[in-house]
């Protein structure tokens, strides 16, 4: 149920069944992932002069990636990719549309380690389509990072190198995650009341 500290956006709060991760809990998770990424790439970047390129999958990862890059203690480049599969439903349509931002050539940079940042992995279709698009590109490595992993509804297996938290099969919103483009501005993550989408 809702905790006192989480009651911040009261106009949206009515639609939330319960808070799954408070701001403080999210902050701890993001710090932990940032440390893992720093550890994984520090020798490659600092000793071997290779590049770390963080690729945010928009729109959902905008809050996560913004906090994450501030905590990664390495020089890095940030790029953006757009993916959408949901339309306005709470189940993946299975068709994933991907658009690459302006520096698409970085995907093909032989010095670049790409870290793809997703808000949440559900069916796995989005990340596997992104990986398919990257096949044959001439970069140093591709790794996958997701703030949340919802394994119950997986249709396509994906190998995540960095994961924030496993969550049950519930539709969650906040901290970048939306339902019909709403709730992305919540500072915490909550389970959306079923009556909102059923």
Choose the contact partner of 20 out of ligand IMP, Mg ion, none; CB within 5 to 8 A by kind.
none
- Which residues are known to be catalytic? 122
Report which of 58, 29, 35, 38 is spatially closest to residue 113, judged by C-alpha positions. 38
Task: Label the pairing between strands 51-58 and 172-173.
Answer: unpaired
Within 10 angstroms of residue 128's Cβ, the number of other Cβ atoms is 18
Minimum CB–partner distance for residue 110 and ligand IMP (Å): 29
Regarding 119 and contact with ligand IMP (CB under 6 A), the answer is yes
Question: How many residues lie near ligand IMP (CB under 6 A)?
Answer: 18
Regarding 139 and contact with ligand IMP (CB under 6 A), the answer is no
Which region, judged by CB under 6 A, interacts with ligand IMP, from 11-19, 102-110, 121-129, 134-142? Answer: 121-129
The gap from C-alpha 75 to its chain's centroid, in whole angstroms, comes to 20
Among 19, 33, 41, 60, binds Mg ion (CB under 5 A): 60
Catalog residues that contact ligand IMP under the rule CB under 6 A: 60, 85-86, 92, 118-126, 150, 171-173, 177
């Amino acid at each position: 149920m809702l905790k006192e500290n989480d009651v911040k956006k009261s106009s949206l709060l009515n639609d939330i069944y319960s808070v799954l991760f408070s701001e403080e809990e999210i902050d701890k998770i993001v710090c932990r992932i940032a440390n893992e990424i720093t550890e994984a790439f520090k020798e490659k970047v600092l000793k071997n002069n290779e590049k770390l390129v963080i690729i945010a999958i928009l729109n959902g990862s905008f809050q996560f990636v913004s906090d994450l890059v501030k905590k990664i203690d390495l020089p890095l480049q940030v790029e953006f990719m757009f993916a959408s599969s949901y339309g306005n439903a709470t189940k993946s349509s299975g068709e994933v549309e991907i658009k690459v931002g302006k520096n698409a050539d970085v995907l093909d940079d032989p010095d670049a380690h790409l870290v793809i940042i997703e808000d949440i992995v559900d069916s796995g279709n989005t990340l596997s389509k992104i990986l398919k698009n990257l096949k044959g590109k001439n970069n140093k490595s591709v790794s996958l990072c997701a703030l949340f992993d919802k394994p119950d509804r997986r249709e396509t297996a994906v190998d995540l190198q960095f994961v924030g938290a496993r969550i049950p099969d519930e539709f969650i919103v906040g901290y970048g995650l939306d339902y019909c483009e709403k709730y992305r501005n919540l500072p915490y993550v909550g389970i959306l009341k079923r009556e909102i989408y059923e």
